[in-house]
Chains A and B, each alone.
Chain A
């Protein structure tokens, strides 16, 4: 299923073509910031912007103004597809502790993993 994007008051639902469909609102974008080279981009929040270039600029002002990042990704929120029904998706793993590598003897020579 797709992630339900909350609408601002008066905002109309977006279509999937990347165009805002309302006169009131700009579409919503999810922002991912890479804190430094070698780390992954991490989700930090969302913002409104009329297009991708502006979204990157707004992300810069909203999320990196205290030097939090060296790179920014933005993705239209409507393109995020999220999991649902946590009980069937994730609960079955809760009683399978043997999938953690705590049941194996780790040879001393290995040292700190």
Chain B
């Protein structure tokens, strides 16, 4: 089943990117006060706010693109689990520090080529959003890459836990590179790249960092997908319940 949540391809596409960013931002926000050191709490909060900021730009533009008057809050706070079209990778839980960083590394290695391509979009506003996102993503990738090397090349325990996180999250990586009719339509107008075209850059980054870090791709190559159609792992519902309950309990509440 294909759930088109907005009336235009551009709107649908922007909501997907917004969903990726708001869900990952929420996950990183949850992690504040739970990182192994205060400094990593700060880094997590900073990264979270970068993703949240991108989600706001993307949702606001999506609302204008679809023309139904939906606001950024309508997208983030008033849609249910089946209406979220984020990739399943970003909703995976903060099992431990290694899971948080591996999830981030996989996503950063995807976002850098994504924003690089979108910065060349024929849609000037999307290109401007992407140019801003690219600078943030490049820093995120630098941080998560260096942590991959530290965890992989650190102690036996850190290597083991990093590899366990890779094995657990590997199955959610192919989904980032699936293309569909929405992307084909945008690609024809050179508004957005096909996600499949981003995979080579991702593989190159992952292999290079894994080699330095003494880590390996998962031996289990099973892959799953469905997030872009609104089919998610069980974790997303709990995340949204926590994120949305205030707005659901007190509709229209604002600071």
Contacts and interface: CB of A to CB of B under 8 A. Distances in A.
A61 B38 contact: no
11 contacts: A48-B38, A53-B146, A54-B146, A54-B150, A57-B142, A57-B143, A57-B146, A61-B43, A62-B42, A65-B42, A65-B46
Interface in B43-89: 43, 46
Nearest to A63: B42
Contacts of A65: 42, 46
Nearest to B46: A61
A21 interface: no
Given A47-B39, A57-B142, A61-B43, 18 more contacts: A26-B37, A48-B37, A48-B38, A49-B39, A50-B150, A51-B150, A53-B146, A54-B146, A54-B150, A57-B43, A57-B143, A57-B146, A58-B39, A58-B43, A61-B42, A61-B46, A62-B39, A65-B42
Contacts of B38: 48
A26 to B, nearest CB: 6
Contacts of A57: 43, 142-143, 146
A111 B37 CA distance: 55
B35 to A, nearest CB: 11
A61 B39 contact: yes
A74 to B, nearest CB: 12
Interface of B: 37-40, 42-43, 46, 139, 142-143, 146, 150
Contacts, number: 28
B236 to A, nearest CB: 27
Contacts of B40: 58
B181 to A, nearest CB: 40
Given A26-B37, A48-B37, A58 B150 contact: no
A57 B42 CA distance: 11
A51 B37 CA distance: 14
A15 B142 CA distance: 29
Interface string A23-50: 0001000000000000000000001111
4 closest pairs, A vs B, by CB? A58-B39, A61-B43, A61-B42, A61-B46
A58 B42 contact: yes
Contacts of B43: 57-58, 61
Nearest to A47: B39
A50 B39 CA distance: 11
User: Of residues B37, B46, B142, which shows the largest number of chain A Cβ atoms within 10 Å of its Cβ?
Assistant: B37
B101 to A, nearest CB: 12
A48 B139 CA distance: 20
A49 B39 CA distance: 8
A54 B145 CA distance: 11
A71 to B, nearest CB: 15
A55 B40 CA distance: 11
Contacts of A53: 146
A62 B40 CA distance: 10
Nearest to A65: B46
Contacts of A49: 39
Contacts of B139: 60
